[in-house]
């Protein structure tokens, strides 16, 4: 299973992004692959927050359009929402302690823990994920 980071969804939705074509192709391939796509609500909420905000996109999405994208992703036959299990906190703690920080890495560590506990490969344009031991990571940048 593939787990896209927020930046993958944002680049795929933003035609003005330099990484639009790459993100869109990755997302389409992931939704077509037999292993499926895991979606995190943290990522989906981040998409709704940022895709509709002026200054992030040259032309922000209307809330209705952003919500439609989220509904489409969740309704895709290959998709499923991933939720933390009882293993999440120990994995998250191990990742944060090994990184020696929380701060800006906290959400990244949460996504990495979610991927680890569900056996997913996390895909991102953000190279910070390379620091998390035990994470299957696909660098898109």
Beta bridge partners of 137: 122
Phi, psi of 91 (to 5 degrees): -70, -45
Per-residue pLDDT band at 22 (split at 50, 70, 90): very high
Domains parsed from the chain with CATH numbers: 2-139 (3.40.50.1010)
- Do 139 and 130 touch, CB atoms closer than 8 A? yes
Distance CA 137, CA 118 (A): 13
Distance CA 64, CA 1 (A): 28
Residue 24 has pLDDT above 90, yes or no: yes
Task: State residue 52's pLDDT score.
Answer: 96
Task: State residue 101's pLDDT score.
Answer: 81
Task: State residue 104's pLDDT score.
Answer: 85
Residue 55 has pLDDT above 90, yes or no: no
Nearest to 73 by CA among 24, 119, 16: 24
Sheet of 79-82: strand order equals 79-82, 37-40, 2-4, 121-124, 136-139
Q: Which pTM value belongs to this model? A: 0.94
Q: Which residue has the tokens 């995190």?
A: 40
Residue 115 has pLDDT above 90, yes or no: yes
Q: pLDDT per residue over 71-107, tens digit each?
A: 999 999 999 999 999 999 999 999 999 998 878 899 9
Q: Which residue has the tokens 């609500």?
A: 41
What is the overall mean pLDDT for the chain?
96
Q: Is 100 left (phi over 0), alpha (psi -120 to 50) or beta?
A: left
Among 51-60, 77-86, 125-134, name the one with the lowest average pLDDT.
51-60
Average pLDDT in the 22-30 region?
Answer: 98
């Amino acid at each position: 299973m593939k787990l896209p980071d927020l930046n993958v969804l944002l680049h795929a939705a933003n035609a003005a992004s330099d990484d639009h074509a790459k993100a869109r192709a990755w997302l389409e391939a992931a939704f077509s692959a037999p292993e499926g796509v895991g979606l995190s609500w943290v990522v989906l909420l981040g998409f709704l927050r940022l895709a509709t905000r002026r200054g992030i996109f040259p032309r922000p999405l209307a809330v209705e359009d952003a919500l439609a994208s989220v509904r489409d992703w969740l309704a895709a036959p290959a998709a499923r929402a991933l939720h933390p299990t009882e293993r999440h906190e120990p994995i998250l703690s191990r990742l944060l302690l090994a990184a020696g920080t929380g701060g800006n890495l906290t959400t990244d560590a949460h996504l990495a823990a979610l991927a680890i506990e569900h056996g997913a490969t996390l895909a991102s344009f953000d190279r910070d994920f390379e620091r998390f031991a035990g994470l299957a990571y696909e660098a898109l940048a």
